[in-house]
Amino acid sequence: MSGITDLDRLLSEMEPVLQDGQFVYCTVAFSEAERWWRLQPLGTFREAEGLTLILPAEVAAAHGLSSSAPMRMITLSVHSALEAVGLTAAIAAALTQAGISANVVAAFHHDHVFVPADRAQDALSALQSLSEGRST
Residue 136, pLDDT > 50, answer no
Of residues 35 and 118, the one with the higher pLDDT is 118
Structural domain containing residue 81: 1-22+70-136
Residue 42, pLDDT > 90, answer yes
pTM: 0.91
Rounded mean pLDDT, 93-117: 96
pLDDT at 1: 61
Rounded mean pLDDT, 50-79: 96
Using alpha carbons, list the distances in angstroms from residue 104 to 6, 31, 34, 58, 135.
19, 26, 25, 21, 23
Query: Could you tell me which residues come within 8 angstroms of residue 125 by beta carbon, excluding any fewer than 6 positions away?
Result: none
CATH number reported for the structural domain that contains residue 3 in this entry: 3.30.2130.10
Rg (Cα) of the chain, in Å, rounded?
16
Q: Residue ranges of the alpha helices (H) in the chain?
A: 7-12, 33-37, 57-62, 87-97, 120-132
| Closest listed residue to residue 23, CA positions, set 87, 93, 70 | 70
Mark whether 132 and 83 lie in a shared domain.
Answer: yes
